[in-house]
Structure 1
Amino acid sequence: MSGSASSIDDTIAFIGGGNMARSLIGGMVGRGADPARIHVAEPVEALREALVRDFGVEAHAGAGDAVAGAGTWVFAVKPQVMRTVCEGLAGHARGVHPLAVSIAAGITSAQLSAWLGGSAAVVRSMPNTPALLGAGVTGLYANAAVDAAGRARAEALLSAAGATVWIADEALMDAVTAVSGSGPAYAFLLAEAMEDAARAQGLPADAARTLVLQTLLGAARMLTESGEAPAELRRRVTSPGGTTQAAIEAFEAGGLRRLVADAVAAATVRGRELSAAND
């Protein structure tokens, strides 16, 4: 069906109350959303209590109780249990036609729709862990059953965690996962390697940590705030015959670009394999 807010209640039900759900809920409440309109299904009692205490939302042990009266269902559970969770809610979806938003990697919109009984309005999304700080980015894909109101509803939800990017071809969502979903780990690996290299050059561990973290933070801010392409910013820092040029030449000689391309390709392939494994 349409997934429009005009025919269904605007209550949002989160199925799963883990870190990513918490980040979205926190962002929504921080932007003025009514906590009473946010329901969460979470089997772990301590997590339920924390959600109620921190955000004032309604928390339930069972998913069926959480989705009652909700027009948007956000599936924030592990991919391995998604089918079981969805099939358990298929009966609740009949006649309600909720907008189903998935934040699980490797689960296609067709799979989610089928598990919910067929013909479901599904938005597949891939946020990343900086969403926990409100600094994330989320790739979004809507199936044909989602109308303009449903797309706006999904975007408003996910924008609580950071920037959003709509993807027209669902097949590209595996590449989104490989670039931004997994991407923070690539930056963390670079930071780890830079710290190791700094200590190898004799810098104390605390100095190495501060130098690396602030360098990466500053570089990220220049990338996002200057409006310049990465290549141009790199060119400005690289004086001919200088220290930066020596380092860049070592990176290029070591095949950094090819290595990054291979890593993203490997993650993309793994995403496709995960989708196939859930059929």
Structure 2
Amino acid sequence: MNKIAFIGAGNMARAIIIGLVNSGITPQDIIVANPSETKRLNLATEFGVLQTNDNIKASEFADVIVLCVKPHFITDVCFQISQAIDIAGKLFISVAAGTTVAQIQSALSKDDTLNLAPVVRVMPNTPSQLGLGMSGLFASKEVAVEQKANAEKITNAVGKSIWLDTEDKINNIIAVAGSAPAYYFLFMEAMEQQAKQYGFSAEESRMLVQQTALGAAQMVAHNSAPISELRANVTSKGGTTHAAIERFKADGIEEIVKNAMNAAIARAVEMAK
């Protein structure tokens, strides 16, 4: 693995840094650039990485530059870097939703459209903070085989990842994985509220819901059977689970889920315009 710069020191940068250090990457091969001294120093103190308030200094240091800034800042940051240093041979990895490869390459190009920078777009999700993330990656045609391997190593340090053959599938990843932890939280929240209505305490309700969700997820992770089969295995016809499942279906859960995921994709498309 080459030297890595993180432009931005938010939660996703922190999650990836933790994963990289835990996977054996030398902390002194990682540098973090961020205006907030507190965030930088916390990462440097906890994990031994280098830190600076200078995006240019961090970019000069690194072979791989991970762009972890907010989407509305990313093109300005890329333009700033490209005007100050020679970016030849550097790989840019973006975790910003709604900012396309073309937009990033344009900001990096110095008007040289014949030599575009290699860019990988990554759509991670928040469980990356626990090393349980799910990411989708798309590489521009300029990304070399070794650079692609480095990008995958970075995302796999915080979970699992898949490569996408077209950039528009990043929006599908947003719907299926990027935004999806919140879907589960919403469902768990509704169950927790109902548990309280049944007379369980707040602590008991939380424990009942989170342990059941954890157990269900682990059963899926440790069993290659289709999820539909796992569901059927615990749904005896005429029993209590069957009654609940039939109520969900009657109330249109499949349509609710489809519409919600399509809404996420539609918003992602709007953000990219």
CA-based RMSD: 1.2
Whether the aligned pair in 2 keeps the contact of 1:103 and 1:125 (CA below 8 Å) is yes
- Please report how far the alpha carbon of residue 93 of structure 1 lies from its aligned counterpart in structure 2 after TM superposition: 5.1
Normalising by structure 2, we get a TM-score of 0.95
Aligned counterpart, 1:202: 199
Report % sequence identity.
Answer: 43
Which of 174, 194, 201 is matched with 1:177 structurally? 174
- Please report how far the alpha carbon of residue 95 of structure 1 lies from its aligned counterpart in structure 2 after TM superposition: 5.0
Which residues of 2 match residues 1-279 of structure 1 at below 5 A? 10-92=2-84, 94=86, 96-117=88-109, 118=113, 119-276=116-273
Whether the aligned pair in 2 keeps the contact of 1:139 and 1:173 (CA below 8 Å) is yes
Whether the aligned pair in 2 keeps the contact of 1:138 and 1:164 (CA below 8 Å) is yes
- 1:173 counterpart letter in structure 2: I
Distance 2:35 2:202 in 1: 42
Indicate the structure whose relative CO is greater, using CA pairs within 8 Å and at least 6 residues apart: 1
- 1:100 counterpart letter in structure 2: F
Q: Runs of at least 4 residues of structure 1 off by over 6 A?
A: none
Residues 205-230 of structure 1 deviation map (CA, whole Å, 9 limit, x = unaligned):
22211111100000000111111111
Give the count of matched residue pairs.
268
- Please report how far the alpha carbon of residue 97 of structure 1 lies from its aligned counterpart in structure 2 after TM superposition: 3.2
Whether the aligned pair in 2 keeps the contact of 1:24 and 1:158 (CA below 8 Å) is yes
Distance 1:95 1:120 in 2: 8
- Please report how far the alpha carbon of residue 201 of structure 1 lies from its aligned counterpart in structure 2 after TM superposition: 2.4
Q: Which moved more, 1:84-93 or 1:252-261?
A: 84-93
Whether the aligned pair in 1 keeps the contact of 2:125 and 2:177 (CA below 8 Å) is yes
- Please report how far the alpha carbon of residue 203 of structure 1 lies from its aligned counterpart in structure 2 after TM superposition: 2.5
Distance 1:88 1:125 in 2: 21
- Structure 1: gaps spanning 5 or more residues: none
- Please report how far the alpha carbon of residue 144 of structure 1 lies from its aligned counterpart in structure 2 after TM superposition: 0.3
Aligned partner of residue 121 in structure 2, secondary structure = strand
- Please report how far the alpha carbon of residue 92 of structure 1 lies from its aligned counterpart in structure 2 after TM superposition: 4.0
Normalising by structure 1, we get a TM-score of 0.93
- 1:141 counterpart letter in structure 2: F
Aligned partner of residue 124 in structure 1, secondary structure = strand
